[in-house]
Amino acid sequence: MNNGRLYRRIAVAAVLLSLLAGTVLMLILGKNPFLAYYNLLQGSGLAPKAKYAAARSMWTDLSSFIDFWTPMIFAALACAVAMKTGLFNIGISGQMLVAGFLATITIGYSGLSAYLAKPLVILIGMAAGMAVGALIGFLKYRFNINEVVSSIMLNYIAEYIISFFIQTRFVDPVSRQSKNIGAAARLTLQDVAIGGYKFSIPLAFVLAVIACVLVKIMLDRTVLGYELKAVGANRTAAGYAGIRVGRSMIVSMAISGALAGLAGVSYYLGYFASIQPKVLVSTGFDSIAVCLLGSSDPVGILFSSFLIQVIAKGSTYMSSQQGLESEIVSVITGLILLFSACSAFFMGLVVSRKNAKNNTKDLRFGDEAETAPAAVTAAVNRPAEDKGGEEA
């Protein structure tokens, strides 16, 4: 309840602090930090640039930013569902690739009409990701193979097998990537002319927002979500309560995989139209940071993915406008990520300050200590519970 509020406040503070750290760095380098941050916004289409090339505008930049943002939302949601069940899905990139590849070769290269092709792309993407995810869950349940190991291995398997087929069957001789898919199958409408500008309209973004809402409802309001969270919080107790732990893990990984599949199709058949062989996109790995920054909460993820993607997309423009070396830009984005990721630490800091008021050193002690400073104990053990005091 209130824990969410405290967490949000700290996340915001962490982001502000990181921007401050970036500011200091840029001042040392003799750059104008405000301008640099403004460039960041310009680069990602959130602020108008001084001038645009033909058929571009701030709004077209923004639409392409949203297109870029979409796969990250799906991927971070995929991570969150697994995380809530106590599983670590590090195979999101591989699941994205499998989904993207299968949708590309089945629908992408078919001549189906847009009304048929787009839903099919989405369905095939979900199904493919779900199958890979469920497989990882099954391996864990049946053979007790750690999901981190199996998903990393599956990442490699997917990467190399798919590269083999792309390079032997589907390669575009010029780009050395898979051949571009047909426009009918693409989830982003390209070059839609509105008022003289050409927009790319990411249809999957609507789906991503809906997915956020659905995952939130699933986790908070359904029997399934209750079971998944129970398994994530305490597997033994979940089993004692009659929850089938193995089944919950498979279901969780299947849902996670399906979301990763959506990330895959919105990336390979939306933002891009082709697949680069022998490369796993970083989105799947970055999504873990995004998920943690958003405290594994779908609404939090909407914000954290936005922040991360603004930085990712705007930093090139910032570096070119400010004459900053791209390495420095990486340092600044790294700082932002670092501070944001440390929000859990800041949380602990806030909590222990609160404790200091009670002269409390070790709260995990004895039965009575548990009764007495109930609220404080909770806060230490789980930096979540916040009670009255912090308002002061």
Partner 1 sequence: MQTQTTTGDYIVEMVGITKRFPGIIANEDVTIRIRKGEIYALLGENGAGKSTLMSMLFGMYEPDEGEIFIRGKKEKITSPSYAASLNIGMVHQHFKLVSNYTIAQNIILGAEPTKKLLGFIPIVDEAKANREIAEISRQYGLEVDPTAVIEDVNVSTRQRVEILKMLYRNAEILIFDEPTAVLTPQEIDSLLGIIRALRDGGKTIILITHKLEEIRQVADRCAILRRGKLIDVRDVPGMDAREMAALMVGHEVQLTAEKSAAKFGDPVLEVSHLVVENEEHFQTVRDVSFTVHAGEIFSIAGVSGNGQTEIADAVAGRLKAKSGTIRLHGQDITNMSIRQRTLAGISYIPEDRQQVGLILDFTLRDNLGLKDYHKEPFQKSGMLNQPVFEENSEKLIDGYDIRSANRGSTMVRSMSGGNQQKAIIGREIEQDASLCIFVQPTRGLDIGAIENIHRQIIAERDKGKAVLLISLELDEVTELSDTIAVIYSGAFGRIAPAEDYTTSMLGEYMMGVAKDNAKNGGGNE
The contact pattern for partner 1, residues 186-225, with x = CB under 8 A and - = no contact, is -----------------------------------xxxxx
Taking the complex as a whole, the smallest distance from the CB of residue 221 to partner 1 amounts, in Å, to: 5
Q: Is 142 exposed, middle or buried (0-12, 13-18, 19+ CB in 10 A)?
A: exposed
Q: Which is nearer to partner 1, 194 or 374 (CB)?
A: 374
Strand partners of residue 201:
189
Min dist. Cβ of residue 353 to partner 1 (A): 14
In angstroms, the CA 381 to CA 363 distance is 9
Cβ 300 to partner 1 shortest distance, Å: 17
Pick from 160, 156, 179: nearest CA to 169: 179
Q: Which stretch, 26-34, 57-65, 145-153, 375-383, contacts partner 1 (CB under 8 A)?
A: 375-383
* Interface mask toward partner 1 for 229-248; x: CB under 8 A: xx--xx-xxxxxxxxx----
Question: Distance between CA 336 and CA 112 in Å, rounded?
Answer: 44
Question: Distance between CA atoms of 127 and 118, rounded to whole angstroms?
Answer: 14
Measured from the CB atom, is 192 or 217 closer to partner 1? Answer: 217
Beta-ladder partners of 171 = 178
Does position 81 bind partner 1 by CB under 8 A?
no
Positive/negative CA dihedral, 46, 51, 56, 57 = positive
Half-sphere exposure of residue 56: CA atoms within 13 angstroms, side-chain side: 15
Cβ-based burial of 365 (10 A; exposed 0-12, middle 13-18, buried ≥19): exposed
Segment interacting with partner 1, rule: CB under 8 A, options 30-38, 66-74, 207-215, 226-234: 226-234
Residue choice 193, 362, 391, 392 for contact with partner 1 (CB under 8 A): 362
- Least separation, in Å, of the C-beta of 352 and partner 1? 14
- 391 lies in the binding site for partner 1 (CB under 8 A): no
Q: Which chain residues interact with partner 1 by CB under 8 A? A: 1, 221-226, 229-230, 233-234, 236-244, 358-362, 365-378, 381-382, 384-385, 387-389
